Chain A
């Protein structure tokens, strides 16, 4: 019995994957569980196993090509078995390269995607049609119909800027032509979007378009936190304890005290999470990723330092498993090491807030009427105003500041 090998969904947000390389050639024998290919997703490079045994008879999507989740990428079958039934309906799809998917404008491509992922997105026929016409990616819409089915009214709620994310190319191209029909174009190079870049583009655009952000900034005296860090460093010379680790501990303690910040706005309710899963924004060459420290309410600074070091290293090597970069309930993003004084970060939906950390700088400060040199750090909290109001955000931020300025709280044995 022939087995269709389809592009697997390797993360929640994955919509397509790129075959980095096939580890088996056409004609090779494969056993169930063999690694047959490496796939690049929006988050990581992942090895793909065969689900059954036989001969890899056909590679439909070659190395370097991308395919949407659910699309046929190869066929495993016995020698001499007739594959025409499996291959015929997708003959057209195999020819669809990544570039033509990107252009996304022609009906045939849209239909291909629909066929490729049947039943993946529950949506009414009308919603599908409207989404196609308006270039809205249905996978980004939370359906309000039975069982989360996307219906017409869900699309009406999508603001036009978000609606444009799906297919920005045609209108922009048209506009450019209309505005400067004769102007010589500057030289340029078009870079293909990596799956990760595409996922980032969608997420941030979706977040800024749909999540009403507000920002709160506070300045924190970091002298005592610096002392704590030095003391810890002395105690565990092999382990590098960073300011981020200490800040994370403070954030986790503040979240435990104010669970309203550890929340998601869910359209008709607010979900408060009982577990704290802290995302850490990590810059990569090709983009960024948020590894997640799970259930960290009771983790000490040392534990946080150890686990985050491991996570960050593997994130940089693109070796995270999906469960290690999904499910955060709050994120911390630190750009202090790049000498950024302060910045505002974009919330990762469905999280309700993100804390952006600037650098620690020496500043003249007045203490007891005298000018001294102080160590000051500015941090900015971005909140989803649908879930959290200003005062709540401020109280939370005040608590983080208090903990960092009185860091002995951070090392008291967690209850």
Chain B
């Protein structure tokens, strides 16, 4: 094979794991090829994080417009066009995807378009949309970053019109009259919030006892109340038995809490999590080990076959863009044998849900911390006691700090309220540096800011709260 098709590293998948790994590898002097079958930026940028955040921005501006009277601003004849919100979200995704193309050029990463297929441990073939081979490359190492796709339910057929996954749900030309959302994880909750703002009658169904089931129960109880107040119907402890479509109308048979009922909806959104895209052609034949569909990797992110690496959604939860990027950097730096490489510790990965009020957390929930045998000290600070939150009119919210009683190790931080997803970064830094509530308190927080709530919650964990 000709030299120009030989690379130090070939990355398969240009999502936040793959493209970040490519940049880092190029920075470290590797000759890098990046193979993508769709658009650079992956699901995150094209069909996930970015377009949904753009839609949420529209829905949140709309919600704010509805309450401008409290600020003395009157907006009569308020009109909202959902199709423009969708168009705007596509533009934002497009713009960022272009940005990544630029970054690839800038870092001299060669991007190949096509579906990758292994022809040997060190060789890939690219298959174009027409099913024909569009090229082949050889690389010393191959990093798989193929991400994940929505999980489907065995008894529910997705048709893309009435029964949707998140991908179709972000492309509707109008807000439907009603939507039944199966699954109250981050994706389900965010879409519930988007469509509710546009007037859709939303029913949110969750099999587990709480919405956002992996979040702290105290926080989700507050969110449950806030979403209910907006008019979202929430059914927890409820399973879906059957979904049928008749004359463009969905019938969803659910059972829970000892009763069974049928719900009618214009649309159904299946948001029951995501599954890894581990069916890369030729991978199984090479003998790369997987477990429950996730590629098994060691601490260097190397699979059971030497020279083949995997990162991000493909290797296991949490299935989050920022975790994939971190994995990518981690894997590449370890290939380059750099010292002081920071391995992602799942307890240090923040998780964010961008509904209103926002939910953000890092570390253990109170229940999990106790189950693990920690004696905990919990500090809480409600936004209703924060000067800044009051001036903003954002008093719905709380910061909760969970510390180990013995030495002050911060086990978890949970935030609900305005800008929670921004505020969580401080907790991430504190945990990464192994700060205790004492150090959070010693760091002076500007007044008036929402960030003071973090300091106050840390004070509360030390039993020294000032403003409550």
Q: B-contacting residues of A (Cβ < 8 Å)?
A: 124-127, 129-130, 133, 145-147, 151-152
Contacts and interface: CB of A to CB of B under 8 A. Distances in A.
A147 B438 CA distance: 24
Interface stretch (B38-46, B83-91, B220-228, B406-414): B406-414
Contact of B435 (A125, A130, A133, A146): A125
B60 interface: no
Interface in B407-447: 407-409, 433-436, 438-439
Contact of A129 (B340, B342, B407): B407
26 contacts: A124-B433, A124-B434, A124-B435, A125-B433, A125-B434, A125-B435, A125-B436, A125-B438, A125-B439, A126-B408, A126-B409, A126-B434, A126-B435, A126-B436, A127-B434, A129-B407, A129-B408, A129-B436, A130-B407, A133-B406, A133-B407, A145-B340, A146-B340, A147-B340, A151-B434, A152-B409
A152 B435 CA distance: 11
Interface in B174-231: none
Given A125-B434, A129-B408, 4 more contacts: A126-B408, A126-B434, A129-B407, A129-B436
Contacts of A146: 340, 342
Contacts, number: 29
Choose among B407, B433, B438 the residue with the greatest number of A CB atoms under 10 Å from its CB: B407
Contacts of B433: 124-125
Contacts of B438: 125
Interface string B431-468: 00111101100000000000000000000000000000
B340 A152 contact: no
A129 B404 CA distance: 12
A340 B342 CA distance: 51
Contacts of A126: 407-409, 434-436
Nearest to A123: B434
Nearest to A146: B340
Contacts of A127: 434
Interface of B: 340, 342, 406-409, 433-436, 438-439
Nearest to B439: A125
Nearest to B410: A126
B270 to A, nearest CB: 40
Nearest to B345: A153
Contacts of B436: 125-126, 129
Contacts of A151: 434
Nearest to B431: A126
A133 B439 CA distance: 18
Contacts of B340: 145-147
A163 to B, nearest CB: 14
Contacts of A147: 340
A127 B407 CA distance: 9
B428 to A, nearest CB: 15
A286 B388 CA distance: 66
A15 to B, nearest CB: 23
| Pairs A-B, 6 closest by C-beta atoms | A124-B434, A126-B434, A129-B407, A146-B340, A125-B439, A125-B435
Contacts of A152: 409, 434
A133 B438 CA distance: 16
A78 to B, nearest CB: 36
A152 B434 CA distance: 8
A258 B115 CA distance: 51
Choose among A125, A133, A146 the residue with the greatest number of B CB atoms under 10 Å from its CB: A125
Contacts of A125: 433-436, 438-439
A127 B436 CA distance: 10
Contacts of B406: 133
Contacts of B434: 124-127, 151-152
A133 B434 CA distance: 16
Nearest to A133: B407
B455 to A, nearest CB: 16
A130 B434 CA distance: 11
A396 B408 CA distance: 49
A336 to B, nearest CB: 43
A38 B439 CA distance: 39
A147 B435 CA distance: 17
A12 B456 CA distance: 42
A118 to B, nearest CB: 15
Nearest to A126: B434
A124 B435 CA distance: 7
A275 B434 CA distance: 39
A147 B339 CA distance: 9
Nearest to B430: A125
A211 to B, nearest CB: 23
Nearest to B442: A125
A124 B438 CA distance: 12
A151 B435 CA distance: 10
B79 to A, nearest CB: 53
Contacts of B435: 124-126
A124 B434 CA distance: 6
B377 to A, nearest CB: 14
A292 B423 CA distance: 55
A209 to B, nearest CB: 22
A125 B443 CA distance: 13
B336 to A, nearest CB: 15
Choose among A126, A145, A146 the residue with the greatest number of B CB atoms under 10 Å from its CB: A126
Contacts of A133: 406-407
A124 B408 CA distance: 12
A370 to B, nearest CB: 60
A319 B407 CA distance: 44
Nearest to A134: B407
A406 to B, nearest CB: 42
A145 B438 CA distance: 21
Nearest to B341: A146
Contacts of B409: 126, 152
Contacts of A130: 407
B298 to A, nearest CB: 14
B105 to A, nearest CB: 32
B467 to A, nearest CB: 24
Nearest to A147: B340
A125 B410 CA distance: 11
A174 to B, nearest CB: 20
Nearest to B434: A124
B365 to A, nearest CB: 20
Contacts of A124: 433-435
Contacts of B439: 125
A129 B436 CA distance: 9
Nearest to B342: A146
A239 to B, nearest CB: 46
Contacts of B408: 126, 129
Choose among B408, B433, B435, B438 the residue with the greatest number of A CB atoms under 10 Å from its CB: B433
A124 B430 CA distance: 10
A123 B11 CA distance: 37
Nearest to A132: B407
A147 B340 CA distance: 7
Contacts of A145: 340
Nearest to B407: A129
A142 B438 CA distance: 25
A145 B433 CA distance: 9
Nearest to A124: B434
A382 B434 CA distance: 38
A310 B468 CA distance: 72
B304 to A, nearest CB: 22
